[in-house]
Chains A and B, each alone.
Chain A
Amino acid sequence: MQPNVNVVSLVSIGRHPQSGRARRAEQDGRAVELGLKLVQDKLTLLHAGNAHETVLRQYAGMGLDGFTVLPQGEGDDAVPVLVAYFKANRQHHSRQIVLTGVNAESGESSGMLPYLLAEQLGWPIVPRIADIVRVDEFEAEVLLALPRGQRRVVTVSLPFIASVDSAAQEPRQSAFARGLRATLTTLDYGSRVDDAVSHWQVAPAKPKPKRLKVVKAKTAADRMKAATAKPVGGGGKVLRNESVEEQAQAIFDLLLEEKVIR
């Protein structure tokens, strides 16, 4: 059953790490994927920025008939206009879920946007989620992504903002023609130049020099071994001559220690 909530996926323009070209951002794509899973094509795809950016159609190509853009100029602050949008929208939808990526791949990439939005709207923020397990009229059961593949279920009351972690379901393929046909709705909620940013100086980051790894191997097989060998040392031990019982006990202890079994 489809829950009667308004799910908004907030997307940004990504940047490919190798080519620097605009692309569908990894985490924002996951936010759209999660939105599609919850409400299928009833998802609202929202972007504050340039309405003519073709990358937006890559998001829409995931299965949406249209998308909404709050037009912004270069260097404008996205937060106030988004706040205005959600405040205006609140009259129609009291039950909203806003999904974003953890941080953008271009621009400031501070990851602050969901927090600032939540603060100004007075909504709870759920950072780094992996999934939304259940949604009803008033609350949602959300799966937080913790390190080392751990998950924690929390219950949040609607409306809320969640940032989607890279642990979430990866975004489906974008269908070019579907994106091409998607209708663009632009809504004007004004714009405000981000004064702070205009004073900043931006320079490309320099990669830190890395120590060269001297390859001693003579043959390809040796190189392969060197490249795939696990780091020696650290935890763990090799039990080769111990009895089966001792070996089993060691495994059992480890599982207890790692809290796999209790």
Chain B
Amino acid sequence: MMLDWLPPTLIGVLLVLAGVGAIRRINLWRAGQAEEVAILAGLMAMPTRYLHDLHHVVDRDKYISRTHVATGGGFVLAMALIVLVHVFGVNNTLLAWALMAALVMMFCGALFVFKRRLNPPSRLSKGPWMRLPKSLLTFSVTFFVLTLPAAGILPDGTGRWVFTLVLSALILLSLSEVLLGMTWGGPMKHAFAGALHLAFHRRSERFGGGRSTGLKPVLFSDNDAVNKVHGVAKPSDFKWNQLLGFDACVQCGRCEAVCPAFAAGQPLNPKKLIQDMVVGFAGGSDAQYAGSPYPDGKGGVQEVGYAKGGADQIITDGLIHPDTLWSCTTCRACVEECPMMIEHVDAIVDMRRFLTLEKGDTPNKGAQVLENIIATDNPNGHSPESRTYWAADQNLALMKDVKKAEVLFWVSDGAFDMRSQRILRAFVTLLKAAKVDVAILGDEERDSGDVARRLGDDATFQSLAKRNLATLSQYRFSTLVTTDPHAFHCLKNEYGDFGSTALDGVEVLHHTTFLNRLVKEGRLRLDTFKGGKVTYHDPCYLGRYNGEYEAPRELLASLGIDIAEMERSAFRSRCCGGGGGAPITDIPGERRIADMRMEDVVSTGAEMVAVGCQQCTAMLEGVVEPRPVVKDIAEILVGQLVEEVH
């Protein structure tokens, strides 16, 4: 009895089935909203994005990057050759040898996958993922044996029919995992969805070393949109390529490991959130999820299996609790760590927009803060006429009077807060010492809209942005400097969407960048710092959002400070807990994020933590004493300023 036809037929049938699965999966993504994507250019760019950008992130963990290169590379090569050798029956010894080499490579890689799964860290998902290395090993061994005759090592027809049957069973087993699993929703789905996600990514500017962190605006002016729901209520309200992005998740849990809210025991786990989104658009429940659940905020966890969703069901109505969305500090640590380049923060803010704009359901102080911002242009409801009180003794020029200046100092809402005013004064002292031609907007300035936008109120953000831009457009200045990284991010990355020319040709800078230039130009004379050990905390909106890690460090180095770096610093910096409106929505957890960050500081043995953000200053100073001193870099510099005596 000859069964030689069986293996090729099996492979062929499974390939066709995988194709059917792919079409089904694509249709699931198509439930999302339309979004313009350069399809061809994206597909062409995909290999570079994969080999360069994605691998760059994976490579932060050398063990898994090498394992992945061997396993993934071996598999792709082997699969292509299997089609040639076993399906089309190309009779070429060289090809057969190449196939066997690829399988050996894959086998070696799979061994390391297997090893890591022996005692997996808690961030990794279990369940079907535990089966994957075994399937990969089976795949490589099975096809190795199957290829032996083609390579001329074993004579043709060696296979007795029993032997062929056993091989066929193994083929069925392993190909089901790696081919069917790819498109019908197994662990290997990440390869299929991930590749397409890279090609059709919503922020293609991120690839090739670029940066894209500004949120996309909600469309209000569009008349058709007035009767449409704003923000994301149902999975089908996401853009189709966002849905595709969720599907790309490999459940590696790197996001979970860096998420400050998860660490604080707040009900958020970025990995689970993305998996819930997949449950949302694919329909069903989260019973299959085998990773860490959401904490419940009281020291326990939320039980898995009860969340249900569908493409047209309201997400916060049974799939995820709104508190999960409000726990996020928008620190982007998850996005920075995600090897699949998934945009968690975009999704979270999209869903918050629905809760705020459509349901009017911003928790805790959220509603009050938004109302204040609407009525007074600042979050605490202070009189707009009192915005410049802090500068009563600073003799600062007002743009209203001078009309133009070299530098416009964007004061931000720190103007109303006594602690932040110390930072503002310090910065002004430095500007004056360097004889910078500077002016402020005074009472004409408004909140940058950062908090409103992160809380989902894009209407208020856009209103503030447009009014601020209108004000800015009346004056001439070449540089805009601010001490607030949140305002910095809005002005630099988010105000561009509103068709104003006010900031064209204007360099928007954070004060640390600007001061660093002054120091380098020799315009500030500074003494050596003789205090104790100093560490530096990277603000999320300066670091991860804007890539500025160097200027603050160079500034501290210019004072002769040798920074005692925290374990989590620069792009891995842990959030202070003050971003994204998190202190306003104040979702309960087991610990406070600021406390954990202060523990990081303490573990360096530093006596002072340098900060470049008034929110971070407020959060870290809120930690009970005894603790290291918290100072903005401007304040540290002022302490070392050598005043010229005439």
Contact = CB atoms under 8 A, between A and B. Distances in A.
A219 interface: no
Contacts of A21: 375-376
Give the interface residue-count category, chain A. 10 to 19
A211 B560 CA distance: 50
B377 A178 contact: no
B412 interface: no
Contacts of B229: 177
Interface string B353-371: 0001111111000110011
A219 B356 CA distance: 42
A95 interface: no
B220 A175 contact: no
Given A21-B375, A23-B374, A180-B226, A63 B360 contact: yes
Contacts of B227: 181
B445 to A, nearest CB: 14
A178 B226 CA distance: 10
B358 A173 contact: no
A176 B360 CA distance: 7
A177 B376 contact: no
B313 to A, nearest CB: 20
A180 B220 contact: yes
Given A18-B383, A180-B226, A175 B360 contact: yes
A27 to B, nearest CB: 15
B563 interface: no
Contacts of B383: 18-19
Contacts of A173: 356, 360-362, 366-367, 370-371
A18 B359 contact: no
Contacts of B230: 176-177
A23 B375 contact: yes
A62 interface: yes
A16 interface: yes
Given A173-B361, A175-B356, A177-B229, A18 B376 contact: yes
B459 A19 contact: no
Contact of A18 (B362, B370, B384, B460): B384
Given A173-B361, A176-B357, A178-B360, A18 B381 contact: yes
A178 B360 CA distance: 9
B298 interface: no
B377 A174 contact: no
Contacts of A174: 360
Nearest to B231: A177
A192 interface: no
Contacts of B366: 173
Contacts of B600: none
Contacts of A23: 371, 374-375
A171 to B, nearest CB: 9
A177 B225 CA distance: 10
A52 to B, nearest CB: 16
A175 B366 CA distance: 12
A19 B446 CA distance: 12
A175 B457 CA distance: 9
Interface string A46-64: 0000000000000001110
A172 interface: yes
B382 interface: yes
A172 B226 CA distance: 22
Interface in B133-160: none
Contacts of A177: 229-231, 357-358, 459
B420 to A, nearest CB: 16
A168 B513 CA distance: 51
A173 B226 CA distance: 20
Nearest to B229: A177
A16 B372 CA distance: 9
Given A177-B229, A180-B220, A181-B227, A19 B376 contact: yes
A23 B372 CA distance: 10
A82 to B, nearest CB: 27
Contacts of B460: 176
Interface in A9-41: 16, 18-19, 21, 23-24
Given A173-B360, A178-B360, A19 B226 contact: no
A168 B170 CA distance: 72
A18 B227 CA distance: 34
Contacts of B457: 176
B360 A18 contact: no
Nearest to B458: A176
A18 B220 CA distance: 29
Contacts of A176: 230, 356-357, 360, 457, 459-460
Nearest to B367: A173
B454 to A, nearest CB: 15
Q: A24, A174, A177: which has the most chain B beta carbons within 10 Å?
A: A177
Interface in A104-138: none
A49 to B, nearest CB: 19
A172 B360 contact: yes
Contacts of B362: 173
A174 B383 CA distance: 22
A43 B229 CA distance: 23
Nearest to A22: B375
Contacts of A180: 220, 226
A178 B376 CA distance: 22
A180 B223 CA distance: 11
Interface string B224-238: 001101110000000
A174 B357 CA distance: 8
A18 B382 contact: yes
A172 B357 CA distance: 13
Contact of A175 (B358, B376, B381, B384): B358
B293 to A, nearest CB: 30
Q: B220, B361, B362, B376: which has the most chain A beta carbons within 10 Å?
A: B376
A248 to B, nearest CB: 37
Interface string A215-236: 0000000000000000000000
Contacts of A63: 360
Interface string A172-215: 11111110110000000000000000000000000000000000
A173 B362 CA distance: 8
A172 B370 CA distance: 12
Interface string B372-415: 00111100011110000000000000000000000000000000
B621 to A, nearest CB: 13
B375 A175 contact: no
Contacts of B231: 177
A145 B227 CA distance: 40
B350 to A, nearest CB: 14
5 contacts: A18-B384, A19-B383, A175-B361, A176-B357, A177-B358
Given A63-B360, A175-B360, 10 more contacts: A21-B375, A172-B367, A173-B360, A173-B367, A173-B371, A175-B358, A176-B230, A177-B229, A178-B357, A180-B220
A-B pairs, 9 with minimum CB distance: A175-B360, A173-B367, A173-B360, A18-B383, A16-B375, A177-B357, A177-B230, A19-B376, A176-B459
